[in-house]
């Protein structure tokens, strides 16, 4: 089941550089594991913004929430979820 | 799986009364069938507004969309869907 | 009498971990007492967000406000209350 | 129990004058009956706008909704309801 | 002359408790003096929010501004003022 | 007493030209009478928009509302009123 | 080059049914041609709304605009375009 | 002097085709005259929308308003004007 | 040439009192010099808010920006500029 | 290919002056290099605001994002990107 997600990253500019680097490394690893597991089929950078559009593929909404709230960056994210249905014109 | 839905009804005030009555009757029957089928566990009127909060219980997002887009009032509805996960404090 | 409530939690990410843990524990206990007392019939997690939709069942608005403003997390909450009436189609 | 209500009137400018006059007369009578019954303790015109702030005094939310949805102008109203609690500083 | 005012209180959660208590005490005394003087005929708590709806009765707009900007909490308040006229249906 | 007013004109493009011309003529006469009477000290066109910023000088809010709701264009206007106090730095 | 597009369809409910059917058929054919040509890699229905999220793959912005403004439904569409860059974590 | 302008065109879809074609032809001629006169140095189509960003070069604000309100499409335009100053980093 | 300006002051409540006093003194002097020079013909306090409506009279937009960005409070101001044209009904 | 960009600068007022000066110097140099390279054909100051409208000329969206996210001020910028197509009336 597909969910469209917009994530805006609100990292405080004065966050300690090491803390920041470690956090982003964990975030990247977490996301790439999910991508390899087929849970995160699409991840695009919104041009000019520290934000992304993603499409997640999960079994149910609880799994969706666990996946998103488990993101290392979660405390600094503004997230908007939109459930996606099959479009009648999609081939 | 639960989805929270806000529906705002935008019926044109000058809609032919018979058309309106027939439409609302079909809407009520449609909704009550789904309630009886356990697909529509909660339906509340937002006080003072021609709108409701609902909670729908479906197997997947396609079923959710079919259910909502099948509403007789659908062409006159403004709908906002929010997926619901289990709350860690809910007993 | 039912009131629909949206609560968005705005905890500062740099809040002392112990303070945070203690606060959340008190919040959970407070909420579960009210759920057991029938005052808080519905509590759902908004998927992907640190927020919930709740439905509270109270005698009057003063009780509603006391209940909400008594939440340990109240200083960090953005709350939106919507009174719910009986829907004419609800079975 | 008190509820604060904002009502914005959206009458189409090209509404038949007689229909308009009759509608407004019924609205006035309806509102004044409720005022005399103590259900509508406050009714103020928002300066410069075809809108009012009101405070309604009802037993419960269903009564509130019946009262508001019974307004002759209801199909042309945009209504926003806010429940009012007792303020700790109010004398 | 009546003015409708919405006040949202934005006190920082980490404000020193003693400073907070003293500030709120002064705010309460200030408001109750004005209520006794008939300048502040209505003061209601917006249920679930650290905010109030008030109606102030003043001679002119300068007095209104002095009264509001003199509130001890003024630096922490978001205020919205709406001038109220007599409603043609008000009895 | 001064009130700042923004007026956005929403005339339907397909309004009968004669009706439109007559309406605008009455609006201009009405406004210029008030300007000559000192009630309407400032009237500026918002560049690029069918809208104006005005400052009205009235004795009280009822007079303000009568003045504004008496505008021939009133049914087609979106009006926003802001009460103005004396600025401490104004010379 | 990828562009994320949100399209909200605002068809008037009282549009002649035949005109509507013909329009939707042309829209479907137009979209499926582009999908087959690889220009429209993703097309999802936003659950509960007459809207879709799409991702378009074009050579430049002029082609993007021609593609979108050529949609049979274009006069009834509200469109929001967001350019997509490669995400550094995307595998 | 430069002014940035966003223009959103809101032509009713059911406008008579001949009226529409004539209107657009006049709009194009009007705009191209101004472009040739150096008054309209920049005109870009906002991709996917019936809207444009323009930059106009005028002597004063009255000329700006005359230019914009003289647009044949003016009754169907939503216009937003932003005055532009020289940027300290611009070469 | 006239420009309408709304200025909202966002001074942090915990700003050092002496710094604040000095800043406000400089702001007042700066503004009064410009008022005396005829550059700042109107300055009103928005009742109940730490904000003002002003009308500035300048030769061009660069002068406008220099004047505004030169305000001692500029780093703490949210400013909205609207160019004003002569209104056809203004006497 | 042209992209319209709005950049709002949100520098904390209490940023260390030397850090600020160094940051702004790097930003200016960065921007002027791009202007000389033809990548940044337009850069205007939005009058009265610490913000600019720019037009960037890039080969693709990845280059656009690299250019914008490489801005020294990027962590303090709120950026809005709008792709620009050729306008049919542009000469």
For residue G76, give the 3-state DSSP assignment.
helix
> Residue H14 has what pLDDT?
87
Q: Supply the mean pLDDT for chain A.
A: 97
Q: Is the overall model pTM greater than 0.90, yes or no?
A: yes
Reported as a pLDDT band with limits 50, 70 and 90, residue A13 is confident
> Residue G14 has what pLDDT?
87
Rounded Cα distance, B46 and D61, in Å: 10
Question: CA separation (Å) from G56 to A55, C46, G45, G51, J2?
Answer: 15, 30, 15, 16, 18
Mean pLDDT over I54-80 rounds to: 98
DSSP secondary structure letters along I6-75? EEEE---TTS-HHHHHHHHHHHHHHHHHHHHTTS--EEEEETTSSEEEEEEE-SSHHHHHHHHHTSTTGG
Query: What would the two tokens of residue J37 be?
Result: 């390279």
C60-79 pLDDT per residue, tens? 999 999 999 999 999 999 99
Q: Do J87 and H45 touch (CB under 8 A)?
A: yes
- Residue F48 has its nearest CB partner, among H12, H64, H76, at H64
Q: Supply the mean pLDDT for chain B.
A: 97
Q: Any chain F CB within 8 A of the CB of H34?
A: no
Handedness of CA A69, E9, I20, E21 (dihedral sign): negative
Residues of B in contact with G47 (CB under 8 A): 3, 61, 64-65, 68, 81
D13 has pLDDT over 90:
no
J46-61 pLDDT per residue, tens? 999 999 999 999 999 9
- Residue E91 has its nearest CB partner, among D36, D84, D85, at D36
Phi, psi angles (nearest 5°) of residue F35:
-65, -45
Q: Which chains touch G (3 or more CB pairs under 8 A)?
A: A, B, H, J
For residue H10, give the 3-state DSSP assignment.
coil
Shortest Cα distance from I14 to chain F (angstroms)? 22
Q: Do E47 and D89 touch (CB under 8 A)?
A: no
I11-20 pLDDT per residue, tens? 998 899 999 9
Q: Any chain F CB within 8 A of the CB of D45?
A: yes
> Residue H11 has what pLDDT?
95
Q: Any chain C CB within 8 A of the CB of B61?
A: no
Give the pLDDT means over successive 10-residue stretches in chain E (91 positions): 98 94 98 98 98 98 98 98 98 95
- Residue G81 has its nearest CB partner, among H13, H48, H50, at H48
Q: Any chain I CB within 8 A of the CB of E71?
A: no
Residues of E in contact with F65 (CB under 8 A): 85
H35 has pLDDT over 90:
yes
B91 has pLDDT over 90:
yes
- Residue D65 has its nearest CB partner, among B11, B13, B45, at B45
- Residue J47 has its nearest CB partner, among I61, I74, I75, at I61
- Could you write out the three-class secondary structure of H17-77? HHHHHHHHHHHHHHHHHHHHCCCCCEEEEECCCCEEEEEEECCCHHHHHHHHHCCCCHHHE
Q: Do F83 and E62 touch (CB under 8 A)?
A: no
Q: Which parts of chain G sit beneath pLDDT 70?
A: none
> Residue B13 has what pLDDT?
87
Residue in chain D lying closest to C83 (CA): D61
> In CATH, what is the architecture of H2-84?
2-Layer Sandwich (3.30)
Chain pair E-I, CB pairs under 8 angstroms: 23
Rounded Cα distance, J85 and H46, in Å: 6
Rounded Cα distance, D52 and D6, in Å: 6
Mean pLDDT over J35-52 rounds to: 98
Reported as a pLDDT band with limits 50, 70 and 90, residue B33 is very high
CA angle H83-H87-H88, nearest 5°? 150
Q: Do F43 and I90 touch (CB under 8 A)?
A: yes
> Residue F34 has what pLDDT?
98
Q: Any chain J CB within 8 A of the CB of G3?
A: yes
Q: Are A50 and A8 in contact (CB under 8 A)?
A: yes
Mean pLDDT over D74-78 rounds to: 97
Interchain contact H/C (3 or more Cβ pairs less than 8 Å): no
Indicate the domain borders of chain A: 2-84
Q: Do B61 and A81 touch (CB under 8 A)?
A: no
Number of Cβ within 10 Å of residue C26's Cβ equals 13
> Residue E33 has what pLDDT?
98
Q: Any chain D CB within 8 A of the CB of C30?
A: no
Going by C-alpha positions, the residue among I20, G87, C65 that lies closest to residue A6 is: G87
Which of A33, A38, A42, A73 would best serve as a mutation to test chain G binding (most G beta carbons within 10 A)?
A: A42
Mean pLDDT over I29-51 rounds to: 98
Number of Cβ within 10 Å of residue B73's Cβ equals 17
CA angle I78-I80-I84, nearest 5°? 155
Q: Which chains touch C (3 or more CB pairs under 8 A)?
A: A, B, D, E
Mean pLDDT over A25-34 rounds to: 98
Q: Supply the mean pLDDT for chain I.
A: 97
The residue whose two tokens read 């982003």 is: A24
Q: Any chain G CB within 8 A of the CB of A2?
A: yes
Interchain contact C/A (3 or more Cβ pairs less than 8 Å): yes
Mean pLDDT over A39-55 rounds to: 98
Q: Which parts of chain F sit beneath pLDDT 50?
A: none
Q: Any chain H CB within 8 A of the CB of I46?
A: no
Q: Any chain C CB within 8 A of the CB of B47?
A: yes
Q: Do B50 and D61 touch (CB under 8 A)?
A: no
Q: Are F40 and F34 in contact (CB under 8 A)?
A: yes
Q: Any chain D CB within 8 A of the CB of C76?
A: no
Strand (E) or helix (H) holding C56: strand C51-57
> Residue C49 has what pLDDT?
98
Rounded Cα distance, G10 and G12, in Å: 6
Mean pLDDT over C43-54 rounds to: 98
- % of chain D beyond a pLDDT of 90: 98
Residues of D in contact with E87 (CB under 8 A): 43-45, 52
Reported as a pLDDT band with limits 50, 70 and 90, residue J14 is confident
Interchain contact C/B (3 or more Cβ pairs less than 8 Å): yes
Q: Any chain H CB within 8 A of the CB of F74?
A: no
Q: Which chains touch D (3 or more CB pairs under 8 A)?
A: B, C, E, F
Q: Any chain I CB within 8 A of the CB of F52?
A: yes
Number of Cβ within 10 Å of residue F1's Cβ equals 20
């Amino acid at each position: 089941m597909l969910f469209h997600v917009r994530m805006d990253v609100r990292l405080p500019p004065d966050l300690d550089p090491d803390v920041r680097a470690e956090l982003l490394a964990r975030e990247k690893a977490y996301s790439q594991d999910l991508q390899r597991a087929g849970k995160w089929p699409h991840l695009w950078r919104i041009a000019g913004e520290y934000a992304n559009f993603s499409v997640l593929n999960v079994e149910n909404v609880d799994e969706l929430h666990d996946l998103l709230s488990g993101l290392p960056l979660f405390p600094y994210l503004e997230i908007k979820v939109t459930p996606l249905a099959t479009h009648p014109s999609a081939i």
